[in-house]
């Protein structure tokens, strides 16, 4: 019996085998969870690249369903949750791994972000959690868990993170408000703030190599996280093992977020006293 045996849930946002959502999915599967998945709709139905990438990952682990869902369209959200209810009846968890900002708005300074780019990024990256949570509530069992993925750039300025930092800040605030409102239904809502992981989306954020070096130098553990560590932490927050935790942003970053400056042994000529 695994920690998630008998539990059913849905995962929004797996892009490929480097996604944090995939690491969490693997951990959930290893613990006995049954899951359905959504993917970004393909522009060309004759060449379903997005669908094929997700199916290649999740069908070998017994995916209950794989369906398209554009989180900007209410009718697609409604259709997706109708399918989820049809397949599962009730669910026990939901993983939100959705974020996007137009490249031109993401790579430039915040003061130069376009109105349209800001609206699009906030809609997809932050409002989508609200849209999913509201639709999940009627079909989620008491004791259920909703988890979204964030990053330290939503709390502090991380050069290069730019517009996405504003989106993650809104996402974390939404997490707390949703946790407060859905707690009476026995539903928990949390966020997982991971250190840098080599995902496709990470490649668009500043100088990723330097970010890895900073984490290895500044973190109390003097290293960066592993994909497996993020996966297990996400599984924990979606399982009943975290039944007393809600409205929380759990940092899985080897302690990087607690540091206000570099460790003394990382400064030339300095040593620990």
Give catalytic residues, as residue numbers: 151, 161
Phi-psi region of 51 (alpha: psi -120 to 50; beta: other; left: phi over 0): alpha
Other beta carbons within 10 angstroms of residue 60's beta carbon come to 9
Residue 86, phi then psi, degrees to nearest 5: -65, -40
Distance CA(53)–CA(268), nearest Å, equals 47
Question: Long-range pairs for 205-209 at CB < 8 Å and ≥24 separation?
Answer: 205/106, 205/160, 205/161, 205/164, 206/158, 206/159, 206/160, 206/161, 207/160
């Amino acid at each position: 019996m695994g920690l998630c045996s008998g539990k059913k849930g849905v995962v929004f946002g797996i892009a490929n085998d480097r996604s944090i959502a995939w690491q969490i999915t693997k951990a959930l599967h290893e613990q006995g969870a049954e899951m359905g998945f959504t993917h970004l709709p393909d522009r060309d139905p004759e060449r379903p690249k997005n669908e094929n990438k997700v199916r290649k990952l999740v069908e070998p682990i017994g995916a209950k369903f794989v369906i398209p869902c554009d989180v900007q369209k209410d009718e697609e959200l409604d259709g997706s949750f109708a399918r989820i209810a049809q397949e599962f009846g009730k669910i026990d968890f939901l993983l939100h791994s959705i974020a996007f900002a137009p490249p031109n708005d993401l790579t430039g300074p915040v003061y130069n972000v376009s109105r349209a780019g800001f609206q699009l990024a906030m809609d997809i990256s932050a409002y989508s959690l609200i849209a999913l949570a509201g639709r999940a509530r009627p079909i989620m069992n008491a004791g259920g868990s909703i988890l979204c993925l964030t990053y330290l750039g939503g709390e502090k300025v991380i050069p290069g993170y730019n517009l996405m930092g504003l989106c993650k800040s809104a996402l974390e605030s939404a997490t707390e408000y949703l946790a407060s409102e859905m707690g009476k239904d026995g539903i928990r809502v949390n966020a997982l703030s991971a250190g840098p992981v080599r995902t496709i989306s990470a490649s668009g954020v500043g100088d990723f190599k330097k970010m890895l070096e900073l984490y290895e130098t500044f973190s109390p553990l003097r290293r960066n996280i592993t994909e497996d560590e993020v996966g297990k932490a996400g599984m924990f927050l979606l399982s009943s093992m975290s039944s007393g935790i809600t409205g929380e942003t759990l940092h899985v970053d080897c302690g990087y977020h607690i540091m206000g400056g570099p460790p003394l042994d990382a400064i030339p000529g300095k040593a620990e006293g």
